[in-house]
Amino acid sequence: MTKALRIPFAARHEALKRKIASLNAQVGDEMKRPLPDWLRVRALKATRLKAKDRITALLSNLRLKTGKSHMSSLQS
């Protein structure tokens, strides 16, 4: 069996923030079209919400494991 690759919290957090920013831009671009594809907008927003939920889960797990707030871990 292979071990799961451990990615530092800050790297995962930043990657998810970049993904959310990209999804926000894609939603904005789609909405600027003369006739937006509402199915695409809905899918992009659902994906964005999942990424936000993953950030929330990461922060929650971090607090449970360390007993610290997420802000103190981001500063170090």
Continuous H helices in the chain: 9-32, 38-66, 70-75
What's the rounded Cα separation, in Å, for the pair 18 and 37? Answer: 23
Which DSSP state fits 76?
-
> pLDDT per residue over 4-35, tens digit each?
667 788 899 999 999 999 999 999 999 999 99
* Per-residue model confidence (pLDDT) at position 54: 95
Q: Is the pTM above the cut of 0.85?
A: no
- Would you state the structure tokens that stand for residue 66, as one six-digit string? 């360390």
Q: Which single residue is written with the structure tokens 């360390």? A: 66
